[in-house]
Structure 1
Amino acid sequence: MERWSSVCWTSWTSSGGTVIFLGNDAVSIFAKPGDPWGGQLQQASFRGIPFGVLNAEGEYGRKIALHEYPYRDMPWAEDLGRATRHKTITGFIVENDLVTGTTDVLVVVQAMIAAAEMPGPATLIHPTLGELSIALPPGGLKVRESFDAGRYFELTFTFVEAGETLFPTILLGQLLTPLFAIATKLAIARSFIQSILNIAKYGAAIDDEIKFTTGVMLDGILSKGNDATSLSNQLSTLPGDNGRYVSGANVGLSSTATIETLSAQGAAARSQMVAQSAAVTAAVADPTTYAANAQVLIETLRASIASAATQITLLTSLATLTPNPIVDSSTIGVQRVIAQQTVVMIFQQFVLVEIALAAAAYQPTSYDDAVSVRDTVTGLLEAQILIQADAGNDDVMQAFSDLRKAVVDDLTASGGSLSVMEQFQFQESLPSLYLANRIYADVNRETELVVQADPIHPAFMPRAFRALAN
């Protein structure tokens, strides 16, 4: 034949025999009249250079970290998210192709090689998947030519999805973190109830220890509640400019808030927490009600704090609240230790969940701020994950692992594209307005600069300080 086509089966007879090719649109030969399958296929191309396709395949799945433990027959497969999609396409370029219009096949092959070596993501049109943004690794394009194939060159593309260089702008963590928080709270309650039922048979000594430890924990929680609802912590929600020591990031401004309304809200929150503490104490004989009341108390504590940053700070100090340890090696003494640890653990775990929710609501001021908060919160969660893993509480461990991942995703999304902090050095003390104009060319950012540098007076900024790079 004088011309080649990737539309249909085409044969070429040479001294070596007959070679038969199946082109990019040849599947239409097998389609029945009216069958839309053939019409759904797209002409394959790489960086705008068309080629025929023989076959294509892809690899899909999840990223899995397999953990194996001594004396356990079954491993734990930790899900780390969707795996990178790997795809392979085998295609061809043939001279005088009726479909692609290829005339000089050698020129097209050289153009294809040059396109494969160009920097940056490439656009590839897949016959069934459509337009893809891909990255070719070393050896991602293989060109095969042989004597018996003549003017037919076979191409093999092995590539991965290119992905995005920017972090997502949709804060999925703010949707996922609350869902994982609910699941974690359920796992905490189930574990607590089971632990209490296991030691309840040891009688009055266990009941007394639960009551005593509950009292110690509630005293610490109410103390933090008083700090959280104090007027100094509530002032950040006042409208207007109230000074850099009152205003701050991550506050919920209210256009109607006044000193009087804030005082009333704080008093109401304190009264509510006192009543809920009494409900926890009254339910020491009923682990189900006890767990539910403890959860509500910690939720109320976080809700009473206006600023997400203050929520994280105050709740972090509660996450390590523990009474004096019991030193008793007797049988009852060992069970008292278990009772104490069980009560302490449920409060600490509910606090950790609320810290994770506060992190989901947190709006970092810089990339460095996001990293700092992420490391603080994930450090607390990771410590709890290890404790539960050592204790064999797989459900609670997995729940906290999922919650940790959601927190990391959320802070990565909210802070990943923010500016980093940079060290600035000047030969003399300069006014903040001058520095805002010099650094950012925007005097409106003077207040932001003052908060970051924290000078004694804005007219005399320190000669060295850290602030946003841009």
Structure 2
Amino acid sequence: MSGSLSTLGLGSIGASTLSGLGGIAGLAGSALGNILTTASFRGVTFFMPDVREAAGRRVVRWLFPGRDIQRFQDFGRIEGPIQVTGIIVGDDYVIRAQRLRTAFLTAGPATLVHPWYGRLRVRLAEQPPEIVFSDREIRLARFTASFYRDPETSGSSGLFASITDTLTNLLTQADALVDEGIIAAQSILSPLAIPLALAGNVSSLISQAHGLWDGLLGNAPQPVQDAANSAQATLATGISAPVANDDTTYADSVSTALAAVPAAIASVAMPTDNAAIAPAVQVADGITVIVSAADIVTLLLQGALAIGTAAVSLSDTSQAPASMLGLGVVARMMVVSQTIAASTSVTYVSQPDALTARDTLIDAIDALGVDMENAAAAGAALPMSSMWSALRNLRLAVLADYSATIGRLPAVLSVPVSRPMSAWAIAYALAGDTPENVQTVMDDLVTRNDLIHPALTGPGSIALLDVSS
């Protein structure tokens, strides 16, 4: 994995804008989310401001020469294409457009989530879709596509066939998890008139999330607190249930609020280019405060655990426990996706370090899966099939990316030391043939073994970085 998004091949504009919200802003990171209508194709969400569909009968009119009569012959119904004009907007617009392009290239039927019709099984029409970028519209891509309804059933295409770029695939699957969280929130908050118990669940969870993040951010470095201030203010204000809930505005506002804080925290792990003059709050005694990506991941993992526990606790006293558990799943999905995004910026020294980090992320994904199971068992209105698919693909993407990373890292040896000796001597014994590696081995030896006095190392077993591997 790499801390630089330039490895994604997005170009300077795409990389800089994507890193502005940790790389996985999704629909939740868009300022247009409250005024446009949300749709999705093969799990990729986008805005659908315009859509039209032709539907009718295949009627032929017969006219006869010299006679003022006409006859009609009905050859059956005709279902014309659903013509979609879509907009992809946000910091991850390049990744989202790439995902949509992949979706268009995939054979077979797919699910189109229509803002007005709901979920439709469709196939692409003969006219190929077009995706349009413009240097006058940064962070925005447009596309047009036409679909035919397809009521027939067919088998699943299964897991993604191959992974050629593990980092891009990891960010792609994390982005897909954001989409599933948005769609899940829309499923839960879909009643035309929001019941009082459901509105209470939303208010309770948002209030609880604000308190949890407030506690976690209390001891965080100043840059992290500054990044999350605006998002925390949104949680503190809360979201009022509308009188008429006839679109996805309320649901999108809730998912945006739940995603905003972890997205802001993740953005610190993947910053844009350093400014010549840093903000005053990030400078102490002339030194710019730098927050490690590993610390950001740890903070987000704590947030994911806390928000999941809080949702379970709130469901015990809620009048609508199923919806509370479902909203807790949405909140945790948002945090886990941002955690995965932030983890791509972590640099590891050895194979055991990367293995430990991988297992920690896998545990967080599995814990989210347990929450999904509990919410489904309680009767929460969640699109379980697509959510399970997104979670499974994310888990596989984490394993694939870390496997590629681990293969490039040195191993750690356990070296027995019979008597106290200098750490420098041990480092030279292992890396002396390549002098430029001695300092690296020495620094890692002191840190990894928590040596109080490097001149007196041992007796006992010492963990040592094997740079020769």
TM-score, normalised by the number of residues in structure 2:
0.52
The answer to whether structure 1 residue 364 and structure 2 residue 348 are counterparts is yes
Distance in 1 of aligned mates of 2:298 and 2:428: 33
Amino acid at match of 2:439: N
1:188 aligns with: 181
Match of 2:365 among 356, 381, 406: 381
Q: Deviations over 1:195-234 (max 9, x none)?
A: 1225x75722332232122211221122222333x2xxxx
Match of 1:430 among 410, 417, 421: 421
2:235 aligns with: 277
1:310 aligns with: 295
2:447 aligns with: 451
SS at match of 2:413: strand
CA contact (8 A) 1:273 1:301 kept: no
2:397 aligns with: 406
1:461 aligns with: 457
Match of 2:167 among 171, 174, 193: 174
2:256 aligns with: 292
Structure 1 residues 396 and 226 mapped into 2: Cα distance closer, same or farther (>3 Å)? same
Distance in 1 of aligned mates of 2:424 and 2:241: 59
Distance in 2 of aligned mates of 1:319 and 1:292: 16
1:203 aligns with: 195
1:225 aligns with: 217
Q: How far does residue 268 in structure 1 lie from its aligned partner after superposition?
A: 2.6
| 1:14-413 equivalent positions in 2, closer than 5 A | 78-79=158-159, 81-82=161-162, 172-198=165-191, 201=193, 203-228=195-220, 230=221, 263=222, 265-266=223-224, 268-278=226-236, 281-282=238-239, 285=242, 286-304=250-268, 306-321=291-306, 322-323=309-310, 324-327=313-316, 335=320, 337-385=321-369, 387-388=371-372, 391=376, 393-413=384-404
Q: How far does residue 77 in structure 1 lie from its aligned partner after superposition?
A: 6.1
1:91 aligns with: none
Structure 1 residues 462 and 282 mapped into 2: Cα distance closer, same or farther (>3 Å)? farther
Distance in 1 of aligned mates of 2:170 and 2:336: 12
Q: How far does residue 80 in structure 1 lie from its aligned partner after superposition?
A: 5.8
Structure 1 residues 397 and 186 mapped into 2: Cα distance closer, same or farther (>3 Å)? same
Structure 1 residues 462 and 314 mapped into 2: Cα distance closer, same or farther (>3 Å)? farther
Q: Deviations over 1:409-457 (max 9, x none)?
A: 2111122232221211111122221211112214323222211221012
Q: How far does residue 469 in structure 1 lie from its aligned partner after superposition?
A: 2.6
SS at match of 2:299: helix
Q: How far does residue 296 in structure 1 lie from its aligned partner after superposition?
A: 2.2
Q: How far does residue 334 in structure 1 lie from its aligned partner after superposition?
A: 5.1
SS at match of 1:454: coil
Distance in 2 of aligned mates of 1:276 and 1:460: 54
Amino acid at match of 1:310: D
Distance in 1 of aligned mates of 2:450 and 2:266: 28
Q: Deviations over 1:57-91 (max 9, x none)?
A: xxxxxxxxxxxxxxxx9986641634xxxxxxxxx
SS at match of 1:354: helix
**Aligned residue pairs, count:** 270
Distance in 2 of aligned mates of 1:379 and 1:81: 25
Distance in 1 of aligned mates of 2:349 and 2:431: 16
Distance in 2 of aligned mates of 1:179 and 1:379: 20
SS at match of 2:190: helix
Q: How far does residue 349 in structure 1 lie from its aligned partner after superposition?
A: 0.9
Structure 1 residues 383 and 77 mapped into 2: Cα distance closer, same or farther (>3 Å)? farther
SS at match of 1:430: coil
Amino acid at match of 2:267: A
2:116 aligns with: none
CA contact (8 A) 1:210 1:339 kept: no
Q: Which has the higher contact order (CA 8 A, sep 6+)?
A: 2
CA contact (8 A) 1:312 1:355 kept: yes
Distance in 1 of aligned mates of 2:173 and 2:446: 38
Q: Deviations over 1:291-313 (max 9, x none)?
A: 12322221002223532211222
Structure 1 residues 267 and 325 mapped into 2: Cα distance closer, same or farther (>3 Å)? closer
Amino acid at match of 1:351: V
CA RMSD of aligned residues (A): 2.8
CA contact (8 A) 1:211 1:284 kept: no
Distance in 2 of aligned mates of 1:311 and 1:267: 12
Distance in 2 of aligned mates of 1:365 and 1:460: 24
Structure 1 residues 415 and 283 mapped into 2: Cα distance closer, same or farther (>3 Å)? farther
Distance in 2 of aligned mates of 1:372 and 1:188: 27
Structure 1 residues 212 and 74 mapped into 2: Cα distance closer, same or farther (>3 Å)? same
Structure 1 residues 326 and 185 mapped into 2: Cα distance closer, same or farther (>3 Å)? closer
SS at match of 2:159: strand
CA contact (8 A) 1:174 1:361 kept: no
Distance in 2 of aligned mates of 1:313 and 1:393: 28
Percent identity over the alignment is: 16
Amino acid at match of 1:79: L
Structure 1 residues 76 and 358 mapped into 2: Cα distance closer, same or farther (>3 Å)? same
Structure 1 residues 417 and 319 mapped into 2: Cα distance closer, same or farther (>3 Å)? same
CA contact (8 A) 1:269 1:304 kept: yes
CA contact (8 A) 2:181 2:330 kept: yes
SS at match of 1:439: helix
CA contact (8 A) 2:262 2:338 kept: yes
Q: How far does residue 385 in structure 1 lie from its aligned partner after superposition?
A: 3.5
Structure 1 residues 449 and 317 mapped into 2: Cα distance closer, same or farther (>3 Å)? same
Q: How far does residue 407 in structure 1 lie from its aligned partner after superposition?
A: 1.6
Structure 1 residues 227 and 394 mapped into 2: Cα distance closer, same or farther (>3 Å)? farther
CA contact (8 A) 2:210 2:232 kept: no
Structure 1 residues 338 and 74 mapped into 2: Cα distance closer, same or farther (>3 Å)? farther
Structure 1 gap segments, 5+ residues each: 1-72, 83-167, 231-262
CA contact (8 A) 1:184 1:353 kept: yes
